[in-house]
Amino acid sequence: MSDTRSLRVALLGAGTVGGHVARLLLEHHDELAARAGISLDLVGIAVRDVNAKRAVDLPAELFTTDAETLIQGADIVVELIGGIEPAKSYILAAIGSGADVVTGNKALLAEHGAEIFAAAARVGAEVYYEAAVAAAIPIIRPLRDSLAGDHVERILAIVNGSTNYILDRMDRFGDSMEDAQRVALELGYLEADPTLDVEGYDAAQKAAILAGLAFHTTVPAAGVHREGISSITLEDVESAREAGYVIKLLAIAERVADDAGVEGVSARVHPALVRRDHPLASVHGGNNAVFVEAEAAGPLMFYGAGAGGVQTASAVLGDVVSIARRHLAGGVGVGESVAADLPVHPIGAAETRYRISLEVDDRPGVLAELAGILASRGVSVETLQQSTSAADASASAVASDDVAASGEADRATATLVIGTHSARDAALAAAVEALAASDAVESVRSVLRIEGA
Amino acid sequence: MSDTRSLRVALLGAGTVGGHVARLLLEHHDELAARAGISLDLVGIAVRDVNAKRAVDLPAELFTTDAETLIQGADIVVELIGGIEPAKSYILAAIGSGADVVTGNKALLAEHGAEIFAAAARVGAEVYYEAAVAAAIPIIRPLRDSLAGDHVERILAIVNGSTNYILDRMDRFGDSMEDAQRVALELGYLEADPTLDVEGYDAAQKAAILAGLAFHTTVPAAGVHREGISSITLEDVESAREAGYVIKLLAIAERVADDAGVEGVSARVHPALVRRDHPLASVHGGNNAVFVEAEAAGPLMFYGAGAGGVQTASAVLGDVVSIARRHLAGGVGVGESVAADLPVHPIGAAETRYRISLEVDDRPGVLAELAGILASRGVSVETLQQSTSAADASASAVASDDVAASGEADRATATLVIGTHSARDAALAAAVEALAASDAVESVRSVLRIEGA
């Protein structure tokens, strides 16, 4: 540790976020020192290639490829490389050498958070990670500290700006999924390889972090059920709108008891129907929002930009200043509470509601038959809507190709939309399977969960 | 200080919030102990009358009228009495005896925060006050810690649930101010003496606290410009709606430079026109929201219940658990940063926009005359709307009483609504005075600031 006149800050990574962190540390040096009560001196930036072109212009003498040596001489190590290795080794080395750590590395925390927090706890180091979820939106401290005396029941969060941008375009401008993805790519909302965002991997990592914090439990990323948005069509979006919903990719963490009554947590990421008057429905573009339902506090929402280099840098710098203040005040890191140590249940244990859209035979007795299938799985119906309108007839033309092939081309079909009451997800999924197997059902057009009602 | 096995928590006050804090400390004792890493034992509740009837049923043996002795034996003192004295003396006594303090006392912090924080800093005590602003909505930690490395530009906040409820009723149900206040009183949104809420005193105290935190400066409540909502009429609300606005009582804190170029802060509370598509416009009923604009983070919003015993208790308990964790980790309190120590400028220095509704003579040349008055004060006009419709003719009947008395009963009048570009509030206020003094102006019907555009 350094003397009390300054703290040596080492930065690992000089991408978009790292560049802004370095710039702001230099530009606002005196102001940050005044707030922290101690000078925060950027002593170096570890990168793979010191000659690489960078978005933010920084003094060349700060750059080094020798991360290990930089870490050894630092009081605060800011890791913004991303990915598992070498980020993990660097963070553990920093903790081992007595430094505190700031990171925005959601993948690493979701996969190896428990190991990193345990290493920090052994030596009393701080590991702060406000930037790991929802960029600049303060959500880690509110969950860890402000709600530390409350009982969080559920979190519904929009934590991936790229997919929110895509779904919002489909909803507001009528773009197809393909067109919306193309625009998102052009405007930089989506990476060249969109898989992490579109298939929900990024949101699942954040869901694991939020669930762990909210429920004082270690939740591995592998315990998060994950579905992306690639199967969502414009027809789904428009049908949702007609019914008063908007489709959002939600990260959901909640308390659930399984069939045996064992209290646990469930974390999942999937597209969901959200009622238009829910606060999450008005989160547009690339923004993020975290909606928290707590026993005493009631519903809370945290809203803001969910990405962006300078926005994320704000969260990183807040952590750096907080660590500096704590350094001056003495004491060790408080660490993460995993006191509840709850089991992580699979999605089947969660209580959900489904909206099921089916192409069914248009003949007497079909409704009773399908209702019977649902009832036998313990699923009760809240709404039923059947239509054979011109629009539906044309929409069902695709399905009728298959029908024609099976020699039943002249069977009349109707569209049936079933909204269920809430039930275990396992029961709902089984009911959909049974419906799909029924002779009366030509095709399952879409199945979406309804959340936040 | 106690040993490390338990912390003795003393509660001062057993009103609605205090009752819930005590109940939750007792009911969730083991869970809170697990999270904090140490047992949190409620050792007593100081009240004026141990036999008073209380909303929450609590063990009689906890009650005492001897606050001084209770404080001396405590590790954490939770002050929920409210008001200046004896709350202030008790908090200083707690700090003096080595205890940490949790308080929800906005009046005390707005008036004497600097003295209390200084006393705490001398001995290294923590003073936490998440409950003082916006009840359960985490806003103190986000401003103090999460945004510690950023540059907050402006805060626009709905921090008084009572007045938001009243204005929301007028907007959504067409209630008159009188009717809305009556309903708010009946439903418990308003105290029997509504002055603190309706006249903006409560919001001004919170504005002082938010401004101090956001700008690292001591902002006394007396430095907050304050206007309440009692002058707002249903006509104002309806006219605002037609123009695409909703009227909200806002607490505003922002950076401003005065005419001499001296950087400072301005804090003010007044009714304001907010565009319907601004996130604050959709804050309904008794809810609160704090909208923060920061240089790096961009716009953020924190939303939730702004009052309520159990909601506020959530914030208090979060502070208690955080203090307990800090106690175990060692070190002293971080304290409040007032490093920037900026001057507090009067509202005249703030840049605002006005929407001015006038009853004017309906004759050629009036517009040019009034535009000239505005221009001579450096105020430029953004929108002008003149109407002589039947509705306006009837609305102007009241004004014409005065006109009749001055012998000009047959002068034709029109309603003129002027939206200004932004200018110093002092210039705008002077312009309104000059307009009112003009012969062409029969009466000034309303003047409201436009915010958040």
Cα of B316 to nearest chain A Cα, Å? 8
pLDDT in tens, B178-208: 999 999 999 999 988 899 999 999 999 999 9
Is B296 close to A316, i.e. CB distance below 8 A? Answer: no
Give contacts of B308 with chain A, Cβ < 8 Å.
Answer: 298
The Cα–Cα gap between B331 and B402 comes to 69
Facing A330 at nearest CB: one of B145, B295, B330 = B330
Which segments of chain A have a pLDDT < 70? 1-4, 389-411
Q: Cβ neighbours of residue A74 under 8 Å, at least 6 residues apart? A: A8, A9, A10, A43, A44, A94, A97, A99
Residues, chain B: 453
Give contacts of A146 with chain B, Cβ < 8 Å.
Answer: 130, 138, 140-141, 315, 318
pLDDT in the model for residue A4: 55
Is A141 close to B137, i.e. CB distance below 8 A? Answer: no
Q: Cβ neighbours of residue A349 under 8 Å, at least 6 residues apart? A: A256, A257, A258, A259, A264, A266, A424, A425, A426
Q: What is the ipTM of this complex?
A: 0.91
**Which amino acids of B are annotated catalytic?**
206
Facing B35 at nearest CB: one of A216, A294, A329 = A216
Distance of CA B170 to the CA centre of its chain: 20
Give the residue from chain A lying closest to B26, CA to CA: A149
pLDDT in the model for residue A337: 87
Nearest to B208 by CA among B131, B114, B292, B289: B114
Is A300 close to B304, i.e. CB distance below 8 A? Answer: yes
Nearest to A137 by CA among A162, A164, A158: A158
Is B302 close to A302, i.e. CB distance below 8 A? Answer: yes
Is A304 close to B297, i.e. CB distance below 8 A? Answer: yes
- Bridge partners (DSSP) listed for residue A212: none
The Cα–Cα gap between B95 and A311 comes to 38
Distance of CA A426 to the CA centre of its chain: 22
Binding residues of B: 12-19, 106, 191
Give the residue from chain B lying closest to A293, CA to CA: B304
Burial class (CB in 10 A: 0-12, 13-18, 19+), A182: middle
Is B331 close to A330, i.e. CB distance below 8 A? Answer: yes
Beta carbons within 10 angstroms of residue A216's beta carbon? 20
Residue indicated by tokens 């038959």: A369
- The pair of three-digit structure tokens given for residue B111, joined into one six-digit string: 């008036």
The number of C-beta contacts closer than 8 angstroms across A and B is 220
The Cα–Cα gap between B376 and B365 comes to 17
Is A310 close to B296, i.e. CB distance below 8 A? Answer: yes
Facing B301 at nearest CB: one of A36, A130, A304 = A304
Q: Is A9 annotated to bind ligand?
A: no
Is A311 close to B322, i.e. CB distance below 8 A? Answer: no
Give contacts of B317 with chain A, Cβ < 8 Å.
Answer: 148-150, 296
Is B334 close to A317, i.e. CB distance below 8 A? Answer: no
Ramachandran category for residue A238: left, alpha or beta (phi over 0 → left; psi -120 to 50 → alpha)? alpha
Give the residue from chain B lying closest to A150, CA to CA: B314
- Bridge partners (DSSP) listed for residue A275: A245
Strand spans (E) along A309-405: 351-361, 381-387
Domains of chain B: 6-136+310-329 (3.40.50.720), 140-305 (3.30.360.10), 351-451 (3.30.70.260)
Cα of A306 to nearest chain B Cα, Å? 10
pLDDT in the model for residue A191: 85
Cα of A241 to nearest chain B Cα, Å? 19
Is A35 close to B339, i.e. CB distance below 8 A? Answer: yes
Nearest to B248 by CA among B190, B175, B168: B168
Binding residues of B for NADP(+): 12-19
Is A146 close to B318, i.e. CB distance below 8 A? Answer: yes
pLDDT in the model for residue B388: 73
- Bridge partners (DSSP) listed for residue A444: A358
pLDDT in the model for residue B410: 57
pLDDT in tens, B229-242: 999 999 999 999 99
**Which amino acids of A are annotated catalytic?**
206
State the best of B38, B126, B146 to mutate against chain A, taking most chain A CBs within 10 Å. Answer: B146
Helix axes B425-437, B366-376, angle to 10 degrees: 140
Read out DSSP for A394-437?
A: HHTHHHHHHHHHTT-TT--EEEEEEEEPPEEHHHHHHHHHHHHH
Q: Is A77 annotated to bind ligand?
A: no
pLDDT in the model for residue A306: 87
pLDDT in the model for residue B423: 95
Which segments of chain B have a pLDDT < 70? 1-4, 389-411
Binding residues of B for L-homoserine: 191
Nearest to A296 by CA among A155, A141, A151: A151
The Cα–Cα gap between A242 and A445 comes to 16
Q: Residue B44: enclosing H or E segment and its boundaries?
A: strand B39-46
Nearest to B21 by CA among B94, B108, B133, B130: B130
Read out DSSP for A28-69?
A: THHHHHHHHTSEEEEEEEE-S-TTS--SS---GGGEES-HHH
Give contacts of B298 with chain A, Cβ < 8 Å.
Answer: 136, 304-305, 308, 311
Give the residue from chain B lying closest to A125, CA to CA: B329
pLDDT in the model for residue B395: 44
- The pair of three-digit structure tokens given for residue A208, joined into one six-digit string: 């694991």
Give the residue from chain A lying closest to B137, CA to CA: A300
Give the residue from chain B lying closest to A290, CA to CA: B302
Facing B332 at nearest CB: one of A124, A147, A329 = A329
Nearest to B94 by CA among B351, B333, B449: B333
Beta carbons within 10 angstroms of residue A73's beta carbon? 13
Residue indicated by tokens 């149900």: B173
Give contacts of A311 with chain B, Cβ < 8 Å.
Answer: 296-298
DSSP state of B440: T
Cα of A409 to nearest chain B Cα, Å? 50
Residues above pLDDT 90, as percent of chain A: 88
